C-alpha cells in the first residue's frame, strides 16, 4: 500500500479495472447513491449497457408457486392430461400477493453497423473509488467513443458523457432506452419530444417514467 498527501491519488490505488468485456450482468460494475443503482456490462459482448434500478420501484406477485416433480410430469404426459389445468389445481390464483423489487430501465450504446464493427476485446472499464465515476473505453481506433458515467449523489439521475466520437467516419452510433418485457407485465409506452426519449411502464402496483 502506498501513502500519498493527495486523497484522490491515495484512493486511485483501489480503482476497479476491467480489461475485457463484461458479458453478464451478474459480473457488472455498479455505481449508485444508495437509492438509484446502475449496473454496467456489455450486451452481446460488445455494446456498453446499463441497467438502472430505483429503490422505490416494486410490484406485487404471487409467491410460493408449487412445481410438479419429474415423476408427476411423466405421469401427466403418459395420461395425456392438460398440464396447465393440473398445475392450477395445486396453485390456485387466490394464494395472496407479496411485494418484490422491480427493475427500472436499460440504456445501451451501439457503435457501428453491427457487432463486427465493435470488437469485444477492445472494451475496458475503470471505476474510480474517489469520485464514483465509471470510465468505459471502446478503443478500436480514434473515432470510437469514450464514456464517463456517474449517479448524482443527491438526485436520482444517471449521467453518461460521450466523448471522442468522430462525425467523419462511416460508423453509426445508436442510443437505446428500453425495458425488457416481463411475463404478466404490459409493454412500456415509448415516446420522444424535442431532445428527450422516454417510456412509461405500468406495473400491477404502480407506474413510472424513465427519461
Could you tell me how far CA 211 lies from the centroid of its own chain? 15
Is 35 in contact with 155 (CB distance < 8 Å)?
no
The 8-class DSSP code of residue 65 comes to: P
Q: What is the pLDDT of residues 69-116, one digit of tens each?
A: 777 778 888 888 887 777 777 665 544 566 667 788 999 988 766 666
Q: d(Cα 52, Cα 39) in Å, to the nearest integer?
A: 7
Q: What is the pLDDT of residues 167-185, one digit of tens each?
A: 655 457 788 999 988 777 8
Helices (H), 50-206: 70-78, 83-90
Q: What is the dihedral of CA 182, 186, 187, 190, to 10 degrees?
A: -140
Which residue has cell 406495473? 203
Stretch 47-51: mean pLDDT: 92
pTM given for the model: 0.76
Q: Are strands 173-178 and 158-163 parallel, antiparallel or unpaired?
A: unpaired
Amino acid at each position: 500500500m502506498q501513502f500519498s498527501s493527495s486523497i484522490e491519488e491515495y484512493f486511485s490505488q483501489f480503482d476497479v479495472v476491467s480489461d475485457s468485456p463484461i458479458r453478464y450482468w451478474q459480473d457488472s460494475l455498479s455505481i449508485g447513491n444508495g437509492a438509484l443503482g446502475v449496473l454496467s456490462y456489455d450486451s452481446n459482448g460488445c455494446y456498453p449497457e446499463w441497467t438502472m434500478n430505483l429503490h422505490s420501484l416494486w410490484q406485487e406477485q404471487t409467491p410460493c408457486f408449487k412445481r410438479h416433480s419429474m415423476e408427476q410430469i411423466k405421469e401427466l404426459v403418459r395420461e395425456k392430461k392438460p398440464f396447465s389445468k393440473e398445475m392450477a389445481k395445486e396453485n390456485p390464483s387466490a394464494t395472496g400477493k407479496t411485494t418484490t423489487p422491480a427493475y427500472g430501465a436499460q440504456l445501451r450504446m451501439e457503435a457501428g453497423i453491427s457487432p463486427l464493427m465493435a470488437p469485444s476485446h477492445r472494451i475496458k472499464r475503470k471505476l474510480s473509488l474517489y469520485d464514483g465515476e465509471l470510465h468505459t473505453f471502446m478503443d478500436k481506433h480514434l473515432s470510437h467513443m469514450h464514456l464517463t458515467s456517474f449517479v448524482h449523489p443527491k438526485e436520482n439521475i444517471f449521467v453518461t458523457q460521450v466523448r471522442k466520437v468522430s462525425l467523419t467516419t462511416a460508423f453509426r452510433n445508436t442510443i437505446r432506452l428500453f425495458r425488457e418485457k416481463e411475463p404478466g407485465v404490459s409493454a412500456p409506452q415509448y415516446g420522444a419530444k424535442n431532445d428527450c426519449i422516454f417510456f412509461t411502464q405500468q406495473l400491477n402496483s404502480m407506474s413510472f417514467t424513465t427519461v
